[in-house]
A and B are shown apart, each in its own frame.
Chain A
């Protein structure tokens, strides 16, 4: 059912939700941006609706809530391990259509690909998603081409209007709370974009042979393998294990997993000293093909949701969408060489 709220009304709802949930939403961090004098928009715990940044795309994605940047798996002594506790409260997460599509990608890896991930599942099970409608596309977005501009699978939606907020709710349990705090009940359809400035063309006939193309070479020098494109991506899911101990001589510590990037040195290091994909261009190839080729080969749909965050963040102005658009010519180049 659809509702409209005054600011006070929706804040009352937030207050009620806070009893069982932590509410996470994109929030403006003044001066926290990648370039000087820019702000960054990051996911943080919020209490009131004013704290939500509705007008700008978030720099980092919601994924940090389901997959914390650094997550303790267990505590250890030399001969004993003790599992780390999970959060007591559930999580209400505000996010846009592309990001809600990204949740499906995280689920694919963490709930299905092989074993079920215990730590992901226990947060995910208690998660609710509130869709932020998009009135127009932001710079670098290409969601329409990736078919992620629209989604129905939300628990509720929320959008600011001229004098308040409107919501479409699908969660039965919330119906009464919302009724009691709303100004009126009317049909609400979340906004979505139908046009973006940026377009991508993912050519048919891609194969791993594209690794032989010269197109990757330009990234050898342009890319500085900082990994930011991976860290902001809502669908990047890699991690590395890390053991931390509390004192130098003590045997007590914890094992964590921390986000990892396939662009950064060390990702492919093997015990004994070797590593592969030493060139940044080949790392770019590995990343790009995962997003728009081999993930689909395995799971049936593309990994990339077209949020454009990788292009927003890159300090070297490397454009992922631009790279996709070079693939068609690269296929011709590789086929011509045969």
Chain B
């Protein structure tokens, strides 16, 4: 088979399945090769089609794909168990360049499944916390039962500032959760020099809009904010046209954009 043929998927084995919620699991898959946080793979299930999924964790020989059960392809993925093999192709997209954030004051604001694409960055700086001046993660979920990556939050807490918040308690009064939208915590953030602080914002469109506005309001510079756009993607390789906005192909030039560019997007 021809190795220049990007459309042909390869087999990857499911090594572990981590269940976060009823409809959100992380599939830990075998993969050898370069991959960056924020890049994505096309999970390719014959008969059902393909779905673009961001990499939510990277280890030697393994990648994590956190998948939300929302369509016919993702439903089918949930029919698979540890030891099964599924087809993938990728990785695609630019991903996050962690070097940009080194030796800076870093804020990551993520909502819901938006934590997945940026999780590799959080992991990196949690493991190498000396490489940032300081780091805060504001992560928001709808209710306590929608919280993803609980185990990881425990680990991260040892190394970085964590604000884990839910929109509402939804009857769960046991845990000690902060309640409120991610934007509520932005004005309280403290910086040595806000003009040089950097931020990453990922999540649903409305949350991204208000969170970036919140950062600008406290004095962040537009060029110091990065966003990741979850788009309709199909081929992942700049051919099918589905991801195009203005002169940008999100699958090639993104999904990570500096806000100066990202703010100009009109669907």
Contacts and interface: CB of A to CB of B under 8 A. Distances in A.
A272 B8 contact: no
Contacts of B180: none
Contact of A119 (B7, B9, B252): B7
A114 B249 contact: yes
A208 to B, nearest CB: 5
Contact of B239 (A79, A82, A109, A290): A109
Contact of A260 (B9, B238, B240, B251): B240
B9 to A, nearest CB: 7
Contact of B264 (A116, A208, A290): A208
B104 interface: no
B49 A241 contact: yes
Interface in B55-75: 68, 70-71, 73-74
A221 to B, nearest CB: 21
B46 A253 contact: yes
A113 interface: yes
Nearest to B4: A118
Nearest to B84: A79
A251 B9 CA distance: 17
B239 A277 contact: no
B5 interface: yes
B50 interface: yes
Nearest to B44: A255
A290 B51 contact: no
B19 interface: no
Q: What range describes how many residues of A lie at the interface?
A: 35 or more
Contacts of A113: 238-239, 249, 252
A269 B1 CA distance: 32
A229 to B, nearest CB: 15
Interface string A260-299: 1010000111111100110000000000011000110110
B240 A239 contact: yes
B242 A238 contact: yes
B266 interface: yes
Interface stretch (B154-162, B167-175, B210-218, B229-237): B229-237
Interface stretch (A57-65, A70-78, A160-168): A70-78
A257 B1 CA distance: 19
Contacts of B241: 237-239, 260, 262
B6 to A, nearest CB: 5
A245 B47 contact: yes
Interface string A11-46: 000000000000000000000000000000000000
B100 to A, nearest CB: 22
Given A114-B252, A240-B234, A260 B5 contact: no
B184 to A, nearest CB: 26
Contacts of A73: 7-8
B247 interface: yes
B177 interface: no
A186 interface: no
A294 to B, nearest CB: 4
B13 to A, nearest CB: 11
Contact of A83 (B1, B71, B74, B244): B1
A109 B242 CA distance: 13
Contact of A114 (B48, B239, B247): B239
A257 B240 contact: yes
A297 B264 CA distance: 14
Contact of A277 (B47, B74, B267): B267
A260 B85 CA distance: 31
A269 B70 CA distance: 13
Given A83-B5, A109-B239, A110-B239, A241 B234 contact: yes
A83 B4 CA distance: 12
B193 interface: no
Given A83-B2, A115-B238, A117-B237, 6 more contacts: A74-B8, A76-B47, A81-B87, A243-B49, A272-B71, A277-B267
The 8 closest A-B pairs by CB, nearest first: A114-B238, A271-B71, A238-B241, A76-B46, A272-B70, A297-B247, A118-B5, A276-B267
15 contacts: A79-B11, A81-B87, A83-B1, A113-B238, A117-B237, A208-B266, A238-B240, A241-B235, A245-B47, A257-B240, A260-B240, A260-B242, A270-B231, A272-B70, A276-B267
Interface of A: 73-74, 76-79, 81-83, 109-110, 113-119, 208, 211, 237-243, 245, 251, 253, 255, 257, 260, 262, 267-273, 276-277, 289-290, 294-295, 297-298
